[in-house]
Amino acid sequence: MSKEKEFLIQDLTIDDEYDTISANASVQEAALKMKEKGIPDLVVLDDDNMYQGVIADFDIVTGLVAEGLSVDKSKVTEIMYTIDPVTKSTTVSDAFARMRDLDVSVVPVVENNEVIGVATITDCWGFLPEKYEDQKGLIPVSNPRFANYSFTILMSVLYLFFGIFAPLIGIVGYLKAPIASQGGFTATYYLFEVRGASFWIRYTDIQGQFNFLWLSLSIFGVLFIVLGLVSIYAIFQWAYADYKMIKVNRNWHAIGTLLGLLGIIVEWLFFVSFILMDVLRVSSTQIDFGGLLFSVIAIICLLAAVSRDLVFRETSATPEEE
């Protein structure tokens, strides 16, 4: 039977270099103290030095600054989070679960009703029993956190190549149609221009009945690139924060995925509408299946980037027999 040691808070190096602030203090005072001490969290105490909660720099930004509220008039008790403190005899997994459930990074450690330090979620991570390790993935690795991060970066780069870079530089296009004025040679419609065997025309230079559509297509082409880059930035932020166990908005990956998918889908809808509206006035207009394939691959890479937990898992250690 395998042994699974359950570590206690006393097994950790309890951070006793924390600092406190009065429950009557303003948020501005808390922010100044964080800056002075170079710390991201303060333990909030009442007039009797009894624990009340914890205020984090992240809460100041999202709870006050982002809402346009006054930091000098708001009290720390208005935005602090309340988490049940732990003792030295509390299990590490219990402390970790408390922080995980509230999506916070610090839990106070008390002894005889007095705060003696804090434990961080990063401290707890290395002392968790195996049941908390990532076991959902298919591929066993010794460091699933690093593997997940690297996999996300790789999939994101592939998304950029197949979804944005390839159509941008003309590796693949969106539509193909024969041009009568060019001897019937097939022209390919890319992100910002149409190219044939002997010509190259920007959409903004096309004149005619549907000129506004070509202009709109060019404008959205720029927006499409911006959406893709913002999407990757959001996913990078989420992946790096998860790798370093930094507290960030957990919706980053959802936002990034949505923006990336939205850009690709709307871009294709633009070009398909050109066929439906007979903008090109060519009955044999076809979708560039190479471009469609690249877009599908880009979508798969994007979804894989945010589903990396299903790929890697912790390598199971050789069980010790009791």
DSSP labels, 181-212: GGTTEEEEE-SSEEE-SS-EEEGGG--STTHH
Residue partners of 13: CB distance under 8 A and separation at least 6:
123
**Residue 319: inside a domain:** no
- If DSSP codes are grouped into helix, strand and coil, which group holds residue 141? strand
Residues spanned by the domain of 70: 9-131
- Burial of residue 290 (CB within 10 Å: 0-12, 13-18, 19+) is middle
C-alpha span between 258 and 262 (Å, rounded): 6
Number of H helices, E strands in the chain: 10, 12
One digit per residue, the tens of pLDDT, for the chain of length 322 reads 344 567 888 887 777 678 899 999 988 899 899 888 888 899 999 988 899 999 998 888 887 776 777 777 888 998 899 999 999 999 988 998 899 888 888 999 999 888 998 998 887 876 776 544 445 667 887 777 788 889 999 999 999 999 999 999 989 999 888 765 555 578 888 888 888 877 788 878 876 666 777 788 888 889 999 999 999 998 888 888 777 766 555 567 788 889 999 999 988 988 888 777 766 666 677 889 999 999 999 999 999 998 877 777 766 544 443 3
203 shares a domain with 301? yes
Which residue, 1, 296, 5, is CA-closest to 131?
5
**Residue 318: inside a domain:** no
148 shares a domain with 86? no
304 shares a domain with 174? yes
38 shares a domain with 119? yes
End-to-end CA, the chain: 6
C-alpha span between 92 and 147 (Å, rounded): 24
207 shares a domain with 81? no
- Burial of residue 261 (CB within 10 Å: 0-12, 13-18, 19+) is middle
Structure tokens, 256: 């990034």
Structure tokens, 169: 């530089």
**Residue 1: inside a domain:** no
CATH number at residue 73: 3.10.580.10
- Burial of residue 1 (CB within 10 Å: 0-12, 13-18, 19+) is exposed
Domain count, the chain: 2
265 shares a domain with 159? yes
CATH number at residue 253: 1.20.140
